[in-house]
Structure formats: C-alpha cells, structure tokens
Amino acid sequence: MSRKSQKAIVSLTLFLLLGPFSFNIVYAYITPILIGTDPKKDATPASVDIVKVYLTNNGTHFRFILECSTTPEPSGIRSYCVFLDTKAGGATGGTYRGADFLLMGGGLSGLYEWGAGGWRYKSSIEVNIVGNSIYLTARLSDIGYPDNCQEMIGIVAATFQPLGSLKDRAPNKGNYSVSHEVIPELPWPTPLIFVPVVAATVYYISKRRFKKNE
Ligand SMILES: [Ca+2]
C-alpha cells in the first residue's frame, strides 16, 4: 500500500472516529447538580407536582431539570417555569420578587426578562420531556452570564395551570441558591485531555496495522 493511501486511510479513520467523539464530548453536559427538593403530593394533578430541581450546563447552555411526580405535560394552559434572580432589581410582584429571568416551558415557551414592570420575551429555549422530568435549556449568554450575574443566583421553580394560576412552587417559601461558580463549571478539561489520547491511540493502531501489511 502506498504511503499516500495509508495517510488517507488514517485521516479518514480519525475523522470517522473523532467526529462523533468531539461533537458529543465537547458539548456534553456535566452531571446534573441537585439544587433542591420539594414535598411530593403538594400539588395536583401529579404532572405539575415538582419534587426535585437540578441544574447542569455544557459551557454555552444551562439546563434546569424539574422532576415531577409523573410525566410533565406542558401545553397551552400548563407551564413549567424557573425564575432566576441574577442581579439587583427585577420582578416587583408575582411568584418570586426580585427575579430577573424566567424560563417557561408550555404556554409561549421561551426565556423572558423582567423589564418595564412586566415579563418580556427575550429568546427561544429548548423544552424536552425525559421520563418524569422536563428539561428547560437556554443560552448562558442570554442571562448575561458570566459578567452580569451576581455571586449568588436565586432560583424558584413553579408550575401553572391555567397559566395565571400557581400550582406548585419549589421551594414553598424563599428560594434555592446556587453560587456563581456552579453554573460555569466547565466540562472542558475532560474532552481536551481525552480527545488527544484517542487520536494518539488510533494513529498508533493504524501504524501498527500498516506495518504488518507491508
Ligand atoms: Ca411538590
């Protein structure tokens, strides 16, 4: 086999092996962090009863995971929300006074920002249902992260049905808090070390195979 075709095969192998790897790993989410729990059966129907709230991120996006008693069912009349207090000022009333951002799955899904006395649509979010959980995913930059976020970020999760009517609030009073550092805990070190190791191994195996065939 010519050196040129050997090189081509090695390149192709690397591309096929590392393409999916680099995509999946570099954009992988860190293991979700439990932000807080809320009593079970304190809201009906069970699909709006929040029991656990998790947070994760992949370096560019953050994701809240609301675990409910049964499968969440966002709709035009049922929403799953996360309020974030990221800076001074914010909501002057409602579910969480002081909240600056709102992620809403169901109703008109999206990221909302408090301004001029009300919630204003800012950008789209991703809404997914996995088992008994609903995933709400938004861009970190859309909440002004990291520069415009205070040291401790306040969090309240809530469900509404119909949209104006609060069903469950987690926690029941006050708010959960997460330190500024938890959100940016970047997953980079793993892929940066892992990918070159895989690349080196693939190249080594290919080289040995070619030598054998020569
Ligand atoms: Ca609950």
Asked if 21 and 33 sit in the same domain, the reply is: no
Q: Residue 98 domain-assigned?
A: yes
In this prediction, residue 212 carries a pLDDT of 56
**Regions of the chain short of the pLDDT cut 50:** 20-26, 188-194
Asked if 34 and 95 sit in the same domain, the reply is: yes
Asked if 21 and 35 sit in the same domain, the reply is: no
**pTM of the complete model:** 0.76
Q: Residue 12 sits in which domain range?
A: 3-25+189-213
Query: How many domains does one find in the chain?
Result: 2
HSE-CB for 47 with a 13 A CA cutoff: 13
Calculate how far, in angstroms, residue 201's C-alpha sits from the geometric centre of ligand 1. Answer: 49
Query: What residues flank ion ligand 1 with Cβ within 5 A?
Result: 38, 42, 49-50, 168
Distances, alpha carbon 211 to alpha carbons 6, 9, 197, in Å: 10, 14, 21
Asked if 127 and 78 sit in the same domain, the reply is: yes
Could you read off the pLDDT of 85-125 as tens digits, one per residue? 999 999 999 999 999 999 999 999 999 999 999 999 999 99
Calculate how far, in angstroms, residue 169's C-alpha sits from the geometric centre of ligand 1. Answer: 7
Asked if 115 and 199 sit in the same domain, the reply is: no
In this prediction, residue 24 carries a pLDDT of 42
CATH number at residue 94: 2.60.40.1190
Asked if 167 and 194 sit in the same domain, the reply is: no
Asked if 199 and 141 sit in the same domain, the reply is: no
Asked if 36 and 104 sit in the same domain, the reply is: yes
How remote is the C-alpha of 52 from its chain's centroid? 15
Calculate how far, in angstroms, residue 71's C-alpha sits from the geometric centre of ligand 1. Answer: 14
Asked if 51 and 90 sit in the same domain, the reply is: yes
Q: Residue 184 domain-assigned?
A: no
Calculate how far, in angstroms, residue 172's C-alpha sits from the geometric centre of ligand 1. Answer: 8
